[in-house]
Chains A and B, each alone.
Chain A
């Protein structure tokens, strides 16, 4: 092809695309005010944990749609500025991806987000994206994950393969923040089992299908665990002048998962289970760390289960509400409340959709640790719309624990009330 032809061709292509590109911006910006009921558990003479946090958040979304949606490019950055916790002041690229599809396939490449699973009280199966833990202690917020994702739609179900180049570290509160362990997690000192560290390429596969009233999913993941093991770095522990901090250690894991929902009239029956295994050498290393007092627990292969139901009463008490009653049981084979939050816990809750013009909703939840009568969480989430573009959120979170050996006790004084106003455009 001659130079001239190439110029002609490229200008033709540009003209074609320029003609067909549709661009759209939407998103939200908001203010948040969180007030804690109690002073921080880990206040020292030098460090005082915040009693009140103000936040400014923004999450715009830009979408370029080409050839009537055959190609889509999405860019969704996120930023938060926090008044007190430097670690909570952070930004992220939630999405920067290109997607295209045919009749029975779909490809996404770039930074994106994926959700797997059916349960409400915890998300065991959902593993692709790292938790943005500083956002909220419920772990529902996720960081953008680099991926190439290929989906095949077949009569026998939907099969999705993932190549995940690049790992995202979990965010942790800083020393003046809340929802942190006694020792601060030093996110600048992340360590990895894999020699490639955060450049290790992970793989995942998921099959899902609907059989009449049953939605089933099977998944497999191999790569860097999104849940860090926390240990005291021996290099720091040996230095008497250094502040002792925890280092996040990202191990290699293999995980299989299953999720199942039966939708039967007003009943939703939900079940999720995983089995996670580590390398023998990693488990041996952590056994040694334990003997050296660098970790308080060993590392074991384990399985975990969440199962329960959601039953909805429609138009109860002569209202137009939907009133849902939820119950889920959480089990972890390690049966160790020092290491695991949902090792033997029961969640009961109620969700009300008021079905009004303001789309008002209320969720009230209660999680009880069945191994320890004094360990439980109370959750309240309320939202409504003010005018046409402002969403008002009111959240209360009350973690409680009277057992200092229970992992939940590190948050026992982090009870808060939060008001949020988000403007959507």
Chain B
């Protein structure tokens, strides 16, 4: 934990003891520049999400084109938190049926590019693939690979913009500028609720700086008494009028996943 978070926490705890209110409500941005405020909010967001360990989930993704025609993708995801680096992730596809059993292994990194492997069950072939393609569509959806990767402070520079309400919830509005030159975005504007620092909405601006997509996160559920996860994520592409809805059907934490469950050699047995 860094010094800032420690100081804030102890200060908040003192205030909480004196005033009897929740410690979380006393997160303070006073006396900071807009950039420092943005960073402080992002660090608080990250700090609140540490220690979840591992998780397994089952999700369904509904792709809709401008005419409203739907296409369904079902998949299961396994994630492992890695201290001081990006998370490890394994995604196994169940539908469309022709890609059933295809598995995608990702070791995300903070300082360097991610390591990615793809398992093609028909050929029994594990292929190392380039992780350069951050901005590409994930399974033909409106989600790019980078939209689904773990949130890391080092991936952006931040700036606090304003306090605004989103769907009646008080939020911090912050600007996130990707540090990776391969990002498909010039900037993102994110709204995090002031109470729990959960993303409520994100606007994505493309390389030409025009509004490309809006992500809306909802149906938050609390896990292990500490970790909030959205059960529903809607991504709308303003330029193509296509949209993708990602619903989490099942989610469990600390299921006993180990590092050996995330290995290119064991990718073949992922089912």
Contacts and interface: CB of A to CB of B under 8 A. Distances in A.
A389 B43 CA distance: 44
A151 interface: yes
A294 interface: no
User: Which of the listed residues B130, B132, B137, B184 has the most CB atoms from chain A within 10 Å of its own CB?
Assistant: B130
A180 B99 CA distance: 33
B70 to A, nearest CB: 9
A263 B139 CA distance: 22
B63 interface: yes
Interface string B160-189: 000000000000000000000000100000
Interface stretch (A220-228, A241-249, A278-286, A312-320): A312-320
Interface string A332-376: 000000000000000000000001111100000000000000000
Interface residues of B, number: 37
Contact of A265 (B115, B130, B258): B130
Given A263-B130, A312-B130, A103 B260 contact: yes
A418 interface: no
Given A101-B269, A158-B265, A422-B98, A355 B128 contact: no
Interface in A6-37: 26, 28
Interface string A86-106: 000000000000010101101
Contacts of A69: 269, 271
A266 B130 contact: yes
B267 to A, nearest CB: 11
Contacts of B6: none
B101 to A, nearest CB: 8
Interface string A395-424: 000000000000000000000000000101
Contacts of B97: 26, 28, 388-389, 424-425
Contacts of A299: none
Contacts of B55: none
A302 interface: no
A107 to B, nearest CB: 11
A301 interface: no
User: Which of the listed residues B95, B126, B258, B269 has the most CB atoms from chain A within 10 Å of its own CB?
Assistant: B269
A268 interface: yes
A153 B132 CA distance: 28
A215 B128 contact: yes
A101 B96 CA distance: 28
A208 B265 contact: yes
Contacts of A104: 260
Contact of B71 (A65, A113, A388): A388
A389 B258 CA distance: 34
A357 B124 contact: no
B135 A314 contact: yes
B123 A26 contact: no
A422 B127 CA distance: 24
A391 interface: yes
Contacts of B127: 118
A389 B96 contact: yes
User: Which of the listed residues B63, B96, B115, B135 has the most CB atoms from chain A within 10 Å of its own CB?
Assistant: B96
A315 B130 contact: no
Interface of B: 63, 65, 71-72, 95-100, 113, 115, 123-133, 135-137, 139-140, 184, 258, 260, 263-266, 269, 271
Given A28-B97, A153-B263, 20 more contacts: A26-B97, A28-B98, A106-B269, A114-B124, A115-B124, A115-B126, A140-B123, A153-B266, A208-B265, A261-B128, A266-B130, A314-B135, A315-B184, A320-B136, A320-B137, A359-B98, A359-B139, A388-B95, A388-B96, A389-B98
20 contacts: A65-B271, A72-B269, A101-B266, A101-B269, A106-B265, A158-B263, A215-B264, A263-B115, A263-B128, A265-B113, A265-B130, A266-B130, A266-B132, A314-B133, A315-B136, A315-B184, A320-B137, A355-B140, A389-B98, A424-B98
Which 4 A-B residue pairs are closest in the complex by CB-CB distance? A424-B97, A158-B265, A357-B71, A115-B125
Interface of A: 26, 28, 63, 65, 69, 72, 99, 101, 103-104, 106, 113-115, 118, 140, 151, 153, 158, 208, 210, 215, 261, 263, 265-268, 312, 314-315, 320, 322, 355-359, 385, 388-389, 391, 422, 424-425
